[in-house]
Amino acid sequence: MSRIIGEEIRNIPWQERNDTAGPVWRYDQNPIIGRHATKISNSVFNSAVVPYNGGFAGVFRCDSKAISMNIYTGFSENGVDWKISDEPIVFEGADEEILRFEYRYDPRVCRIGDRYYITWCNGYHAPTIGVAWTKDFKKFVQLENAFLPCNRNGVLFPRKIGDMYMMLSRPSDNGHTPFGDIYVSQSPDLEFWGRHRYVMGTVSGNDSAWQSTKIGPGPIPIETDEGWLLIYHGVITTCNGFVYRMGCALLDLEEPWKVKYRSKEYILAPNELYECVGDVPNVTFPCAALADAATGRIAIYYGCADTVTGLAFTTVDDLIQHMKKASL
Ligand code: BMA
């Protein structure tokens, strides 16, 4: 039995396994958030949630009906029914240059101590990683962008490792990026980032082709007694374009650029209609996971076809067994 190290989330959304096809099963009322969940939204997807005040809070990617990408707060009692703001997050911060808005999308939320850090894909002449913190999901203080463009999928670790903060990311280009490997960077203060290390990359050949074009980190890594459990997205290029599936890996606790196991078989793939049909077909894109240390239960929040938001379930044991059974 593997063990999650972290907080207990007694009210984690949960359903017993209803599908024997893989290590992850879907909520039977998916999608939990529809495309018109707010007054302005064309689509609500690739969003992040955390336990907050006995319930849950989150930061949501809503693309507007003008197709303008921005991020919005949301709150929920049970983690399933969400009330999302019609007004985007307004950031404050020391430097007007950094506060300037081009676009914001694909947020992650990571609690470190008494602050919730938000990282997202932030337009600054090209995509890079924006960083901000909040304590109450009302006042948001924006820090410096973590990296030079072009970069996407900035994902913080939930505590310092040694005496450094650490962030995963996926250097990219300014377009739809036909490549991409995962790196980890270190910072003493969440402003200056260095000591960049390669974590893992695409898989060539016919061995695990679902992750042959690019990969990127998804939810905040989950600490377990065996290593950091990372859920990530993997992409293949087909005659109909990209297909986004999910996989998982186990990273060394002290040196998270060392990969202990990595799933050869995907853990979730676009199979359901709402994952295959939408503004961008065939995308399952995880940005958050709730993990209950008491039971080992994990609830994954993922964008479906760049249109709606889905919820899926697994356990720490299901994922680690899946990796050990067939690891790259
Ligand atoms: C990526 C990002 C994601 C999106 C994905 C699939 O480059 O734009 O937000 O889900 O493409 O379209």
Q: Enter the pTM of the model.
A: 0.98
Average pLDDT over residues 253-275: 98
The band of 83, judged by pLDDT with boundaries at 50, 70 and 90, is: very high
User: Looking at the domain assignment, is residue 10 inside a domain?
Assistant: no
pLDDT band at 94 (very low <50, low <70, confident <90, very high): confident
Look over the chain and give the mean of its residue pLDDT values, rounded to a whole number. Answer: 97
**What pLDDT digit, counting tens, does each position of 211-241 carry?**
999 999 999 999 999 999 999 999 999 999 9
Q: Can you tell me which atom of ligand 1 is nearest the CA of 172?
A: 7
**What is the Å distance from ligand 1's center to 156 Cα?**
19
Residue 226 placed within a domain = yes
Domain that holds residue 217: 25-31+40-325
Q: What is the DSSP string of 114-159?
A: TEEEEEEEEESSSEEEEEEEESSSS-EEE---SS-SSEEEEEE-SS
pLDDT beyond 90 at 274: yes
Work out the pLDDT band at 292, boundaries 50, 70, 90: very high
Q: How many independent structural domains does the chain possess?
A: 1
Indicate left, alpha or beta for 268 from its phi (over 0: left) and psi (-120 to 50: alpha).
beta
Task: Pick the residue whose CA is nearest to atom 3 on ligand 1.
Answer: 106
In a domain, 9, yes or no: no
Instruction: State the DSSP code for 210.
Output: G
Are 200 and 182 spatial neighbours (Cβ–Cβ below 8 Å)? yes
Task: Give domain status of residue 12, yes or no.
Answer: no
What is the position in ligand 1's atom list of the atom closest to the CA of 61?
9
Separation of CA 53 and ligand 1 centre (Å): 31
Q: How far is the CA of 74 from the centre of ligand 1 (A)?
A: 21
Query: Is residue 124 domain-resident?
Result: yes
In a domain, 5, yes or no: no
In this structure, what DSSP letter does residue 209 have? Answer: G
How would you classify the pairing of strands 194-200 and 222-224? unpaired
Mean pLDDT, range 233-260, rounded to an integer? 98
At 93 the pLDDT is 95
Domain membership flag for residue 15 = no
The CATH number for 118's domain is 2.115.10.20
Q: Answer yes or no: is 66 within a domain.
A: yes
